Amino acid sequence: MGAESNRVEVSIIVPVYNVSAYLNRCIESLVSQSYANIGIILVDDGSADGSSEICNEWAAKDPRIRVIHKPNGGLSSARNAGLEVANSEYVAFVDGDDFVDAGYVEKLFKSARENSADITICNYRFVDENGHEISNDNYTRYTRQGSFDSYEALRLFEDKSYRTFFDVVWNKLFRRELFEGVRFPDGISIVEDIAVMPVLYHRAATLSVVDDGLYNYVYRVESLSHAKRDKQADLKLRIPVMENRLALYREWNIKELCLSHIIHMYPMIKESADYTKADLRSLQKQYRAEYGKGKYHNTPSLSRRIKYMAAAISLDLYNKLAGAK
């Protein structure tokens, strides 16, 4: 239902699943964008709460909106369905219970054009269900503006100093061709963003940042990403994704990312009931092998080189010392 114009510059993909209480606010924020040359792809992922009807009503009012109705397959499946029909130069992702500022597309698109950026990132706000801003310990505002390359993006992604800022897809504008041959992993609804972001960063020649907080992330206690999850079940999802990422860093021959990533993996594998002391010894051996390889891609600071050396002696001791700080 509806049709995305063949001439739109930006496609906004909106996964929708049982968010009828929030969906009108989300769509209203999209149709009210100051930059109007957009296509809005609403992917109804088998909703049963009236969200489907809300999507159809909006499509009947605005020709820029296209609705896809599909059986429930999860967040990754919904995003992938949107990617299959997007025909614009750029794509963005907005969750159906969130909303964006009026200048969200315009400012991201302007930065992408001015910097010839393949990915442009903006800051965001955590808000409650009524749209009031709330604090969140997981968010550190990223204030650097301008552009940087794919290596720096991967380094910041792995560093975790800014956590969500570099991890998620919903505060970013992507050149659509980055997704050629890349899709979100089906069957994963918790760590799907971090499964694809390293590949997208690696493919991007240039990235840019808009300092403004343009995306409003609605913190809902009952939502999937905030639901209380069993620690072991969470590790079962995360560790395979991290193992795949380590394989990519090795393929790309980026020594310092391999080292940083193994350091991050070690305490998770230590906590997992599925792994043994032999697995920890194997990881230590892998770390030492990476540490002994050739030159760094980009020479780290002295403090970071000391950190890498300490972990080569003992990942276990390194993590104990790091946790004691």
Scan for tokens 């193994």, then name that residue. Answer: 262
pLDDT given at position 2: 52
pLDDT given at position 22: 97
User: Of 226, 257, 283, which residue is a domain's last?
Assistant: 226
Looking at the structure, do residues 280 and 178 belong to the same domain, yes or no?
no
pLDDT > 90: percent of the chain: 79
Looking at the structure, do residues 164 and 66 belong to the same domain, yes or no?
yes
- Sorting pLDDT into bands at 50, 70 and 90, what band is 5? very low
pLDDT given at position 225: 52
Looking at the structure, do residues 132 and 73 belong to the same domain, yes or no?
yes
Q: What is the pTM of this model?
A: 0.92
User: Average pLDDT for residues 118-131, to the nearest whole number?
Assistant: 94
User: Of 226, 260, 283, which residue is a domain's last?
Assistant: 226
Q: Is 50 left (phi over 0), alpha (psi -120 to 50) or beta?
A: left
User: Of 226, 246, 275, which residue is a domain's last?
Assistant: 226
Q: Are 72 and 160 in contact (CB under 8 A)?
A: no
pLDDT at 199 over 80: yes
pLDDT at 4 over 50: no
Q: Exposed, middle or buried: residue 199 (CB in 10 Å: 0-12, 13-18, 19+)?
A: middle
Looking at the structure, do residues 181 and 295 belong to the same domain, yes or no?
no
Write the pLDDT tens digit of every residue in 240-294: 999 999 999 999 999 999 999 999 999 999 999 999 999 999 999 999 999 999 8
Scan for tokens 């032999």, then name that residue. Answer: 278
Looking at the structure, do residues 206 and 302 belong to the same domain, yes or no?
no
15 in any annotated domain: yes
Looking at the structure, do residues 292 and 220 belong to the same domain, yes or no?
no
Write the pLDDT tens digit of every residue in 133-160: 998 766 677 878 789 999 999 999 998 7
pLDDT at 227 over 70: no
4 in any annotated domain: no
Per-chain mean pLDDT for the chain: 92
Looking at the structure, do residues 77 and 215 belong to the same domain, yes or no?
yes
Looking at the structure, do residues 138 and 274 belong to the same domain, yes or no?
no
Q: What is the CA radius of gyration of the chain?
A: 21
Looking at the structure, do residues 248 and 211 belong to the same domain, yes or no?
no
Looking at the structure, do residues 242 and 195 belong to the same domain, yes or no?
no
110 in any annotated domain: yes
Range of the domain at 104: 10-226
